[in-house]
Amino acid sequence: MPGQDVWVKPEHVAIIMDGNGRWATARGLPRSAGHKAGVEALQRAVRAVGDRGIPWLTLYAFSSENWSRPKSEVSDLMGLLKFFIRRDLAELHRNGVRVRILGEREGLQKDIGALLREAEALTRANTRMNLQIAFNYGARDEIVRAARKAIAAAQAGEFDRLDEAVFASMLDTADAPDPDLVIRTGGDQRLSNFLLWQAAYAELVFLDCRWPDFGEAELDAALAQFGSRQRRFGGVVARDAS
C-alpha cells in the first residue's frame, strides 16, 4: 500500500469535505454536479480509510449553517444524502461498517430522519470500522445540547461532579475516541464549527485539492504529514497515536 511504511497510523481521522461547488464552477458545471462528484469521493474515502485499518472516520457532511444556502442546493444535497444511504448502506453493512449520525435530529424531514435511524439500526452491531456522519451538525450547538443534558443529569442526581469525562459523555460523540487527524480539503484553513471540543489536540492538515478530487494519494499525503509530527498533548514528551 502506498506510504504504509512512512506514517504512524491514527485511530480516528475526521474530514471536512470542502470544495464541491468550486470544483464544479471551475469546470463550467452546476454546483449540483460538484455535490454529486463529492458523494463519489465520499465513497472512495470510506473504502480507503477502511483499507488502511483505521477504525474511526468522521465526515462533515452537512452543517447546521448549510440550511442558509439556496433552497435548490439544499434540496439537491438532501437528495444526494438519500441516494448515498439507499445505494451504499447495504455495502457498508456487508463490510462491517457501523454508521453513526452526529448532529441535531429534531426538526428534520420525516423521511430523512427515518433513513438516518435505519442506517444506525442496521449497522449497530458492526465492528470492523466506525463511520460517523456529521449531518445538521454544528460544534457549538453540540456543546450547548451537551450542557443541557449535563444540567438535567445533575438535577436528577446522576453524578456528583462535572468533569471533562462526564461532559464528553454528553456529546454526540460519546464513547468515540477524539480525532487524531483532521483533514480539510478545498484550501481554506479553519475548522468551521466542526468537532471543536474533540479536536483540541488533533493534528490539522489542510489540502488545496477540492473534495471531488480527494483520493488515495491525497489521503496518504495527509497521513504522511500526520506521521511526521510529534504529538505532545500539552506535555514535553511526544506520544504516538497507536
Catalytic residue annotation: 18, 66
CB 98 within 8 A of CB 25: no
CA distance 135 to 139: 11
CB 34 within 8 A of CB 21: yes
